[in-house]
Amino acid sequence: MKEKVEAVLDRIRPAIQADGGNVELIDIRSDNVVIVKLTGACAGCPMSQLTLKAGIERILKQEVPEVVAVEAAN
């Protein structure tokens, strides 16, 4: 499943990088929750939670049905 998630993140990444940010896969928990870290301009951006849930999570769940949720790394 990690390879599938990485492949989807690779397709999403250019759009995030266009705004000066990036997304990094940190972990996939045993309950299929994907942990990512938003970096660059995304770190601390007020819109980062929207990017995470409405963008990254929505696309990952659509492309990799095993994914239950996407959360930001602490």
Per residue in 26-42, pLDDT (tens digit) is 999 999 999 999 999 88
Per residue in 5-27, pLDDT (tens digit) is 999 999 999 999 998 999 999 99
Q: Does residue 54 register a pLDDT over 90?
A: no
Looking at domain 2-72, does it have CATH number 3.30.300.130? yes
pTM: 0.89
What residue spans define the domains of the chain?
Answer: 2-72
CA angle 13, 15, 16 (to 5 degrees): 65
